[in-house]
């Protein structure tokens, strides 16, 4: 029984052990879309792009469910991956920045603005401000184009 359970667990966890961003994207997007996402991430990260990076693969693995849920296009997925990469490198936990995905999924904002929004979300979450108020403030700020 333990062996059967171990085999089932092994087969369901195989995609989680993929090493590169491309391997993770292949299951959900066509080869052209996968290439587009990879090239867009590479272009946006410029010099800090690391081929085969486990850091980017981890972010990609966490972004895929959001991308599928939100029905994002490949360029939008690449933008979200870059946003998350910069937020995590700025010291914001993925969990704090993740709450912003539905809000910015289809908006092209500056990376530094997303990092600041992530910081805002982290601080207000730690201050136990209700999520509805946080989201209302951020959506209003995006809509009115506040700096």
User: pLDDT tens-digit profile of 56-83?
Assistant: 888 888 888 888 888 888 888 888 888 9
Quick one: pLDDT band at residue 119, thresholds 50, 70, 90?
very high
List, in order, residues 6 or more apart from 36 with CB less than 8 Å away.
Answer: 74, 75, 78
- C-beta atoms surrounding 85 within 10 Å: 24
Please write the tens of the pLDDT for every residue from 4-33. Answer: 333 343 334 434 444 566 666 766 667 777
Say if residue 135's pLDDT is above 90: no
Say if residue 3's pLDDT is above 50: no
Cα 93 to Cα 75: distance, rounded to the nearest angstrom: 23
CA 110 to chain centre: 15
What is the overall mean pLDDT for the chain? 77
Model pTM? Answer: 0.71
How far is residue 110 from each of residues 53, 74, 79, 117, measured CA to CA in Å? 23, 18, 10, 11
């Amino acid at each position: 029984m333990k062996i059967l359970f171990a085999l089932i667990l092994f087969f369901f966890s195989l995609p989680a052990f993929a090493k590169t961003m491309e391997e993770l994207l292949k299951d959900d997007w066509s080869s052209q879309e996968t290439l587009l996402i990879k090239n867009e991430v590479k272009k946006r990260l410029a010099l800090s792009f690391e081929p085969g990076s486990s850091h980017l693969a981890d972010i990609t693995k966490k972004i895929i469910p959001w991308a599928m849920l939100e029905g994002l296009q490949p360029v939008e997925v690449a933008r979200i991956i870059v946003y998350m990469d910069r937020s995590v490198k700025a010291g914001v936990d993925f969990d704090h920045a993740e709450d912003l995905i539905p809000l910015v999924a289809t908006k092209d904002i500056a990376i530094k603005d997303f990092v600041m929004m992530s910081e805002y979300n982290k601080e207000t979450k730690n201050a136990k401000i209700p999520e509805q108020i946080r989201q209302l403030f951020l959506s209003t700020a995006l809509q009115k184009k506040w700096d």
